[in-house]
Amino acid sequence: MPEQKNQHKETTHFGFREVPVSEKAGLVGEVFHSVAGKYDLMNDLMSLGVHRAWKRFAVEQMQLRPGLQVLDVAGGTGDLTKRIARRVGQSGKVVLSDINGSMLEAGRARLADDGIAGNVEIVQANAECLPFPDNSFDRIIIGFGLRNVTNKDQALSSMFRILKPGGHLLVLEFSKPTLPGLGKIYDSYSFNILPMLGKVVANDEASYRYLAESIRKHPDQETLKDMMRQAGFERCHYFNLSGGIVALHKGYKF
């Protein structure tokens, strides 16, 4: 079913808080301005490095080949872009987009350090209104970004519009644990260890508490699959990774 929000008061969630719809993008922006410098290090620490395996799996599911045009939405520091750029080659192109300038600057520097150049374009853009023509990309991926978007339905529709017929969208995101007993362990880690890591490593406990809360407010696997269908995607399905802590959703445009 579509994402729910209070239409009368025009509020939405920012973690566990209800905030005006007009303020959420700015609040999320403050979080990512704050964490940009330590974002990649914290990803390794928070997931014990497992995020790399999740991303490898997602890139494999993209079925990339030289020459494809690919959009990495909410791509931040360019972790997925780097992997994709090497696969599409100089005859292809990857557009790294994110609403947050600080994250994109970190991504630009990281890609340069990794020797990725020539086939990557960087665009600051809001996922809800992507500034590209209809039918522009062979593949679109959004990794760990959809849960931070204010209007997820609008973002999915925007991605559907610019995807070429025959292409597909992949959504890699934290989801709902499916293994018995895993949920309690995961909650304890998220609300105790994660903010402590944020405080010690990034000097920012509040932002990492928000990130933990945002995961709990994100739609579960079946709900997100239905949202993708309502946006126009077909053959929608998902893979549970690490017991459902993360899910990779895939949908096609025909």
Q: Examine the pLDDT at 5 and tell me if it is beyond 80.
A: no
Look at residues 132, 143, 175, 170 and name the one whose alpha carbon lies nearest to residue 253.
Answer: 170
Domain range for 152: 11-179+207-252
On whether residue 5 sits in a domain, the answer given is no
Type and span of the H or E element at 97: strand 93-98
Note whether residue 197 is domain-resident.
no
Give ∠ CA 236-240-243 in degrees, rounded to 5.
160
What is the Cα 240 distance to its own chain's centre? 16
pLDDT in tens, 72-128: 999 999 999 999 999 999 999 999 999 999 999 999 999 999 999 899 999 999 999
What digits encode the pLDDT tens for the residues 21-58? 989 989 888 888 888 887 888 788 889 899 999 999 99
Q: What is the pLDDT of residue 14?
A: 85
Query: What confidence tens digit (pLDDT) does each residue in 121-158 have?
Result: 999 999 999 999 999 999 999 999 999 999 999 999 99
CATH code of the domain containing 107: 3.40.50.150
Q: Is residue 200 part of a domain?
A: no
Task: State the sign of the Cα–Cα–Cα–Cα dihedral 172, 73, 195, 202.
Answer: positive
Residue 72 lies in a domain: yes
* Number of domain units in the chain: 1
**How high is the pLDDT of residue 100?**
95
Examine the pLDDT at 198 and tell me if it is beyond 90.
no
Q: Which is more confidently placed, 36 or 69? A: 69
DSSP, collapsed to helix, strand or coil, labels residue 82 as helix
What is the average per-residue pLDDT within 151-172? 98
- The answer to the question of residue 130 being in a domain is yes
DSSP character string of 176-222 = ---STTHHHHHHHIIIIIHHHHHHHHHS-HHHHHHHHHHHHHS--HH
Q: Over the chain, what is the mean pLDDT? A: 92
176: pLDDT strictly greater than 50: yes
For 121, counting Cβ atoms within 10 Å of its Cβ (0-12 exposed, 13-18 middle, 19+ buried), the class is exposed
- Alpha-carbon span 160 to 232, nearest angstrom: 7
Comparing CA positions, the residue from 48, 47, 28 lying closest to residue 206 is: 28
